[in-house]
Chain A
């Protein structure tokens, strides 16, 4: 296997370690903790009174709009990274190119701004 992929083995070890440490502690906890459920204890918490209605409800559309805006910007940020590492080689040409790219990016932000998408209420 290539060294590039091999170094990702450490990531696997760390992921396993996280679940193992937590799993081990939760396992110990399962052995020694009490388990005495009753109706009041199992109720959903709503400031001490009986819960009203369902816990799941529809959420505001604005979260979706912001998430959408984020995806657009994040994907474009991904394009800037490789450019940033090679700037020394591209020099003036890369600079102009990225200036146009960032300007378009800003234009998108200004458009969203003018459309009132960035207004929260």
Chain B
């Protein structure tokens, strides 16, 4: 993709625009459809039912049927939310934009990336917290007691679990010595554990504590069970989403699944070696010696790893009960944060020692 675009004599903005459009249409749209179907089928099978079967073969076109249905639904802004109607309508878009912006830094292959920021993971952590704003706005502007409670709970939860997540990532940054996601991928696949490079050095093995903390924080950031107090259906009737209807509700709903997918992608880049396979298998040493076909195979490998992680996120979601609000905060501040601080120091000591 890169070579073809660069050979044509285009200005920089056109190249980057084509890159984004190509990536969105060719990679993210099909991937989104597949992941969406996979999740729906998975949760249906867990509940001993078939799931979507009508739209397309085995319900494969369910996402499009869903969009087609929700497009025809009335868009209701409650009377009490009318003074804030503009930001009420804006909130789902902010949440969606946060998800879109997260994809920017994920590398899909040796040359297949949207951007190659030096501070990639830093950017991802910063952008991921933008969704808090959307959720707070949604909760506040709904002028509904449930929504307000849900919005505040969501904000409190995202704030509490952002910290262990950031601190867990530092462990990876120490090991890789860089914040560039592409270089983190290379460092994992070109690395070796105690001199043995058959598997590279996937940080899920050497940073196991950080991986666990990261996945727990992701679960909480996405408000998935067991951390779904902000959108608890049985107490808060979906919290900040209570007053949303029609397509705006669907944006929240799809945004939730999409964010799960994107976070799983980032987790697989940080801990599972991203798009790469251990370089020793093919005799590669640096990123420049990688064969060109990895640009095609890379995204597929990344998606396979991402699906596995999404499966775990959803598995826990569909099979565990809800925590209490005070238990959630206690768990973050008194367990996860001290552990992740100790993990940082331990990683640093080992890094300097070896």
> Main SS of chain A's interface residues?
helix
Bound form: Cα–Cα A25–B247 in Å:
8
Residue B2, interface by CB 8 Å: no
A66: chain B residues within 8 A (beta carbon): 156, 159-160, 329
Nearest Cβ in chain A — how far from B231, in angstroms?
14
A113: chain B residues within 8 A (beta carbon): 333-334
Residue A92, interface by CB 8 Å: yes
Bound form: Cα–Cα A88–B101 in Å:
31
Bound form: Cα–Cα A105–B122 in Å:
20
Bound form: Cα–Cα A77–B145 in Å:
35
Query: Are B160 and A70 within 8 A (Cβ)?
Result: yes
Complex: chain B residue closest to A53, CB-CB: B145
Which residue in B142, B179, B329 is a CB contact (below 8 Å) of A55? B142
Query: Are B160 and A15 within 8 A (Cβ)?
Result: no
Residue B317, interface by CB 8 Å: no
Which residue in B19, B78, B104, B326 is a CB contact (below 8 Å) of A45? B78
Bound form: Cα–Cα A64–B24 in Å:
39
Nearest Cβ in chain A — how far from B187, in angstroms?
12
Query: Are A7 and B117 within 8 A (Cβ)?
Result: yes
Q: Of residues 57 to 114 in A, which have CB atoms within 8 Å of B's CB atoms? A: 57, 59-60, 63, 66-67, 69-70, 73-74, 77, 80-81, 84-88, 91-92, 94-95, 98-99, 102, 105-106, 109, 113
Complex: chain A residue closest to B117, CB-CB: A7
Query: Are A14 and B20 within 8 A (Cβ)?
Result: yes
A87: chain B residues within 8 A (beta carbon): 174, 177, 348, 351-352
Query: Are A70 and B159 within 8 A (Cβ)?
Result: yes
Query: Are B144 and A45 within 8 A (Cβ)?
Result: yes
Bound form: Cα–Cα A82–B340 in Å:
17
Q: Which of B179, B242, B333, B349 has the most CB of A within 10 A?
A: B333
B237: chain A residues within 8 A (beta carbon): 45, 47
Taken residue by residue from 115 to 156, chain B's Cβ proximity to chain A (1 for < 8 Å, 0 otherwise) reads as 111100010000000000000000010111111100010011
Nearest Cβ in chain A — how far from B190, in angstroms?
16
Q: Of residues 1 to 34 in A, which have CB atoms within 8 Å of B's CB atoms? A: 4, 6-11, 13-15, 17-19, 22-23, 25-26, 28-30, 32-34
With contacts A13-B20, A99-B345 known, is A56 near B115, CB below 8 A?
no
- Ranked 5 nearest A-B pairs via Cβ: A120-B326, A55-B143, A18-B100, A42-B79, A18-B97
7 A-B contact pairs sorted by A residue (CB < 8 Å): A7-B115, A22-B92, A22-B93, A73-B163, A106-B338, A119-B326, A120-B325
- Chain B residues in contact with chain A, CB under 8 A? 12-13, 16-17, 19-20, 24, 67, 70-81, 92-93, 96-97, 99-101, 103-104, 114-118, 122, 140, 142-148, 152, 155-156, 159-160, 162-163, 166-167, 170, 173-174, 177-179, 237, 242-243, 246-248, 251, 325-326, 329-330, 333-334, 337-338, 341, 344-345, 348-349, 351-352
| Apart from the given pairs A29-B246, A44-B243, A106-B338, 8 other A-B contacts in the complex at a CB distance below 8 Å | A10-B114, A11-B104, A23-B93, A55-B143, A55-B144, A66-B160, A77-B167, A80-B167
